[in-house]
Structure 1
């Protein structure tokens, strides 16, 4: 176990055995595939010819200085859309890179005999190495950077060096990124007024103060993912989903998970159900009386809530009025590229490392997410800050993203094995209180939201919920990514969504057919969700009290747990 933990610290928690097995599988099958080899040779010759022709035409166009349009490059990519990249020799340089990238995509895919998972790993690894060598990421081969350096006499590089030293210093000393200090929890973000009405070993439950004279009797409880601070749904006042609901006449409760430490190593999934969802519902019931609850879960909080709803349906517990799931997977057979980091070898390595620490560090998760979107989250930022000397001002969502959390060793291992590796939930064998639960028992109306550009919970994976429950499902596909697509208040520019209802016990369209059939609408999906909630809510009445006899108000929101580092 100690040896594995040491290995994990040297390999950024990535299993080298997993990579090696994938490479051997790919390489050995390519070696006995003469047809594929011939195809690759032919493609290389075609690309070399196309590149030579493009280079010749580009030089001829530059020398003649004619008014004719420049030659059309054989490959296009948004990374090289700026005008300096269209000038010789940089146009040829970036075209050579893009053609090589296409060749490797062909080389790593479609080889008979290679396991699908190994093919995906090799393709992903090849893309990461190619991105590392991209001419756009190097000082001497990036014309935009060279142009800026000449214009500023190198001042941009000095600023970039300052930013680099600052970032390295902050990382080594455990400080947050620059600019986070402008978004203090309770002062700038997470400022919707409320009270903490429950605190146990794992959660604080926040009850938000009403802003309307009357409220619907059914409250809304939000269960965020435990891998993030809850206030992504209560960022600044202009984009707070919590404030939006409160201002529309709903009593809102939100779970704030504790940021665990080594003492919490033995907390498991059952604890997250009992101390999290069950404890919150008990407190809400004592505060609001007999009213049912609109349960809302985000990301893995939605997965946890789906498990809880299935267990409640199994046991005849009718306290829920509806179920809303935001970017929440219930089937993990095809969870996207994140699955590349989750296999038996990888989980064993993580378990060894967590056994030593008692938890999974936040930066270990962040590294995996960065690699999924390496250009957007890593390389473009490094070029802009360290080479161009431009540090983009941080916003509230970026500050929240830097306020990461840890995960207890036992719980993290359990959900990786039971959900990702075993896919127990969709198979009907996930145990709660010693007995399996089935999504098929859920009869509640479900409002399910996913996003087009989600690398964490791909929408086609989320869509599989239709297969496992006969309940009515209002399925929404909205523009944006895993976080920005959810934090999408009315008035946000360039937002649109598609919505279609599958009635209870109705047929299920394949995802691509759903995509073609669901009408597209401009704007935020929040008002559509609000209308859906209202259709399932009673007539407004006086707001409930804050807290109850057994659940008195403890402190003002946002509470204590959200501030734990």
Structure 2
């Protein structure tokens, strides 16, 4: 029997614990070394050499301290901090763990430091307005990056996860980070969560026409009668077309078909060397106009409704001006614009990326005349870095949580490459120089472009919280077209404001029947409507197309002069 004061020390447990945490760090080192990062681990080697001489600490102890001491310290700091009552809650710090004294102190200290830093940036002297906005944008992203929620041992949820999994979350997260670094893209959803034609892009249809720049998809009717005038949708070529055909409960394409419309959509080809030379003229004439010619011939109709989303809406405005100038405007019954811009004087944070230095840098990134779409994806993610970058750094890398199955985020990461020459001209001539709204400054196939001659009826939709095409920028379209226009302001932003199925009963939209000059005046006198704006748009379309025809013959994909090439969503949508 051991004498009092001489109890046996549990050396085996200590060694086992030490071996476990040494193994965790060793595994992390191995992963990094396998990917060419051994030089960065010299400090880790030094740490490992000292581990045998140090007592093993419970990881939770790194964040623990006597409660009385922290309460006293926190009380002092709180007396120094400004009141924040009434401020919007910050989701990064919503977990109850952040109310523990140490982490509450870290959180509040960060908030004060961030506010002070951004205040100093706002007062920086001697800068042009553009330079000041660039500095503020960079500062905001720096502040987002430095949030204590983004680091393992200043985030209480991560500390708890380390204890719970005995460090496995960090190993799993490191493996994911290395995979993402190798692919050049932050992954938001699991690799196998979605498959085109299986659980997204499911609306039945056929590819009925293929050109070097696009495939044309025709969807199968679900009603016995359909509107005589067909609908052609031009999605942006920055991503895949199926943002408008996600799951059936979100699909605008399926909904439009079910309302009795004959729907076609353009699936743009992701740029490769074969189309590296194309410019805006090609997207206007060899893309949008060619699709109109194909559809009117196929269905033997004199005109079509057309939709342009984002940059495809910008191209659509040029196509309308070209059509009016060349006497071809009768082929277009109406034009709808989803969050599209023609006047870029208030184009938001994307304009910060179009000064001479950054345009020159972009030019160096092109390979074989093609601009890698991952760069554009990262730019868009930076516009909402808290939600689209750091949120996933924490969830995917630090907490190693299961990936969410979110179709919209799968689409967001399914990027397309762009013709580099056209991309640089687009950013220079439109975003930087704003030439589209200067009559005659741009041309299509030698025809000067003047938006003021466009008389086609237009439905113009904007998103109240759109950070890519701000509502004030979209509104300016009303000052340049000369035909009848209907403006609708939708709740949410660039994607969710557009992709809002009526069955979801989400968000709202605003209309104002009075003639007003500014968006502020529109909002001041607007009527709010709950839910989706799609039925309002359908009612507007119907006013321009009352005739119905049987859903037979060429109204069936492959049933007319153009045989079906393949099932929707087609080869171009799957080409990486």
Q: Fold match, TM over 0.5?
A: yes
| Residue aligning to 1:370 | 381
SS of equivalent to 1:528: helix
1:421 has 2:429 as partner: no
Asked if 2 retains the 8 angstrom alpha-carbon contact of 1:451 and 1:479, the reply is: yes
Compare 85-94 and 135-144 and name the one that shifted more: 85-94
Residue 149 of structure 1 deviates from its aligned partner by 3.9
Asked if 2 retains the 8 angstrom alpha-carbon contact of 1:328 and 1:457, the reply is: yes
Question: Within 5 Å, which residues of 2 pair with 1:227-238?
Answer: 227-238=238-249
1:132 has 2:141 as partner: no
Asked if 1 retains the 8 angstrom alpha-carbon contact of 2:500 and 2:506, the reply is: no
Asked if 2 retains the 8 angstrom alpha-carbon contact of 1:212 and 1:249, the reply is: yes
Asked if 1 retains the 8 angstrom alpha-carbon contact of 2:351 and 2:432, the reply is: no
Q: Deviations over 1:157-214 (max 9, x none)?
A: 4134314313422542579945242321122221211221211111111111111100
| Residue aligning to 1:442 | 454
Residue 106 of structure 1 deviates from its aligned partner by 2.1
* Aligned mate of 1:267, from 268, 273, 278: 278
1:535 has 2:543 as partner: yes
Q: Deviations over 1:201-247 (max 9, x none)?
A: 11111111111100010111000111111111111111111111111
Asked if 1 retains the 8 angstrom alpha-carbon contact of 2:298 and 2:561, the reply is: no
| Residue aligning to 1:190 | 201
Asked if 2 retains the 8 angstrom alpha-carbon contact of 1:58 and 1:71, the reply is: no
| Residue aligning to 1:161 | 171
Question: Within 5 Å, which residues of 2 pair with 1:321-470?
Answer: 321-354=333-366, 356-428=367-439, 429-470=441-482
SS of equivalent to 2:504: coil
Asked if 1 retains the 8 angstrom alpha-carbon contact of 2:176 and 2:397, the reply is: no
The whole-number CA distance in structure 2 between the counterparts of 1:350 and 1:72 is 44
Residue 448 of structure 1 deviates from its aligned partner by 1.2
Q: Which of 1 and 2 has greater Rg?
A: 2
| Residue aligning to 2:520 | 512
1:91 has 2:101 as partner: no
Compare 467-476 and 191-200 and name the one that shifted more: 467-476
Residues 481 and 375 from structure 1, CA distance in 2 versus in 1: closer, same or farther, beyond 3 angstroms?
Answer: same
Residues 160 and 391 from structure 1, CA distance in 2 versus in 1: closer, same or farther, beyond 3 angstroms?
Answer: farther
Compare 200-209 and 381-390 and name the one that shifted more: 381-390
| Residue aligning to 1:6 | none
Q: Which runs of 5+ in 1 are unaligned?
A: 1-53, 63-69
| Residue aligning to 1:10 | none
The whole-number CA distance in structure 1 between the counterparts of 2:437 and 2:234 is 20
TM-score of the aligned structures, taking structure 1 as reference length: 0.82
| Residue aligning to 2:156 | 143
| Residue aligning to 1:471 | 483
The whole-number CA distance in structure 1 between the counterparts of 2:123 and 2:300 is 60
Q: Which runs of 5+ in 2 are unaligned?
A: 1-69
Asked if 1 retains the 8 angstrom alpha-carbon contact of 2:177 and 2:397, the reply is: no
The whole-number CA distance in structure 2 between the counterparts of 1:445 and 1:160 is 57
The whole-number CA distance in structure 2 between the counterparts of 1:526 and 1:554 is 31
Compare 390-399 and 106-115 and name the one that shifted more: 106-115
Asked if 1 retains the 8 angstrom alpha-carbon contact of 2:184 and 2:374, the reply is: no
Residue 319 of structure 1 deviates from its aligned partner by 0.7
Residue 521 of structure 1 deviates from its aligned partner by 1.2
Residues 60 and 267 from structure 1, CA distance in 2 versus in 1: closer, same or farther, beyond 3 angstroms?
Answer: closer
Residue 472 of structure 1 deviates from its aligned partner by 2.4
1:114 has 2:127 as partner: yes
Q: How many residues align?
A: 497
The whole-number CA distance in structure 2 between the counterparts of 1:77 and 1:295 is 42
Asked if 2 retains the 8 angstrom alpha-carbon contact of 1:180 and 1:394, the reply is: no
| Residue aligning to 2:32 | none
Q: Deviations over 1:446-504 (max 9, x none)?
A: 111121222211111111112112322221222222112211101225421112346xx
Q: Deviations over 1:488-543 (max 9, x none)?
A: 101225421112346xxxx4332222222211111111111111111111222213
SS of equivalent to 2:421: helix
Compare 462-471 and 139-148 and name the one that shifted more: 139-148
1:492 has 2:504 as partner: yes
